Amino acid sequence: MRRQNPPQASLDQALALERYLNPVQLGMVYVICATVGFVIITILFAILASGCLVKPTNAIAMVFAVLALSPWALALIEFLRRPDDLLSTFFRSLANSRRQPLSVVDDRCAFKVLLMTGEPLCVNLAFYYPAKNHTQQVQERIFAHVRIALDHYISFLNDPPTDSEVLDTVDRALDSIASEFDIPVLYCTVRDQHKIRDAYSRLDDVLTPSEYLGLATGTLG
């Protein structure tokens, strides 16, 4: 289940970025950057010269030659400064950002389900996932899948399940939704569960005044 936050994919990306801190990998990146800078400056000089915007005199050619070689010089200086060089700092910053937990917000819902004895049970859950995934379609799919899972599991029980049993049941239902909508973090917590007093309540049950008949099912709050 996607309870891990940050998700494993983000941690794998952080490790991949940190591989560039290796001197060999880092050196290759600096070579690529220096080569790109050299090519850009050379092309710029060729365009200016062909368009007669600058006169290709020896002095101008020398200036552009120095400019073209400057990326190599800068790359060498920065490579020798590692691990405090620009690229190492950049890659570390990116890797650390991938290790930050994703911001999640909750959707709360109360489910009214029946035990095998016919007694109604109220299960209050909170679902946590990123705000960008909080669409009506995702919300409706979560509530529908969880309701089906709870109805099926709890209908075979005489007594209320433990919180861990509820979480195991709900997690299996959420897993398919997380895969379908590519949600990196999706999990729930049990806020509360209690029986609701009605004609099926057993005489030996001690119910609180809040446990009453008629609690709305599948409602937010």
CB 194, CB 208: distance < 8 Å = yes
CB 121, CB 160: distance < 8 Å = yes
Q: Establish if 120 belongs to a structural domain.
A: yes
What is residue 64's predicted lDDT score, i.e. its pLDDT? 76
Q: Establish if 3 belongs to a structural domain.
A: no
CB 188, CB 167: distance < 8 Å = yes
Domain boundary, last residue among 68, 83, 98: 98
* Helix (H), strand (E), coil (C) string for 118-154: CCEEEEEEEEEEEHHHCCHHHHHHHHHHHHHHHHHHH
Q: Establish if 2 belongs to a structural domain.
A: no
Q: Is 209 helix (H, G, I), strand (E, B) or coil?
A: coil
Model-level pTM? 0.71
Q: Which residues contact 144 (CB under 8 A, 6 or more apart)?
A: none
CB 177, CB 142: distance < 8 Å = yes
49 and 142: one domain? no
What is residue 183's predicted lDDT score, i.e. its pLDDT? 93
Mean pLDDT of the chain: 85
Instruction: With residue 105 as reference, give the H or E element that holds it.
Output: strand 104-114
Domain boundary, last residue among 98, 115, 149: 98
DSSP 14-65: HHHHHGGGSHHHHHHHHHHHHHHHHHHHHHHHHHHHHTTSS---HHHHHHHH
Please tell me the distance from the alpha carbon of residue 172 to that of residue 202, in angstroms, as a whole number. Answer: 31
Structurally, how many domains does the chain consist of? Answer: 2
113 and 90: one domain? no
Number of C-beta neighbours around residue 167 at 10 A:
19
110 and 27: one domain? no
Q: Which domain holds residue 204?
A: 104-220
CB 168, CB 161: distance < 8 Å = no
Please tell me the distance from the alpha carbon of residue 100 to that of residue 211, in angstroms, as a whole number. Answer: 40
pLDDT at 111 over 80: yes
Please state the separation of Cα 111 from the chain's center in Å.
27
Q: Each residue of 129-158: pLDDT tens digit?
A: 999 999 999 999 999 999 999 999 999 999
Domain boundary, last residue among 76, 98, 120: 98
Q: What are phi and psi of 55, to 5 degrees?
A: -85, 125
pLDDT at 128 over 90: yes
The CATH number assigned to the domain holding 169 equals 3.30.479.30
Please tell me the distance from the alpha carbon of residue 181 to that of residue 128, in angstroms, as a whole number. Answer: 14
Length of the chain in terms of residues written: 221
Q: Each residue of 43-58: pLDDT tens digit?
A: 888 887 776 666 667 7
Q: Can you give the C-alpha Rg of the chain in angstroms?
A: 31
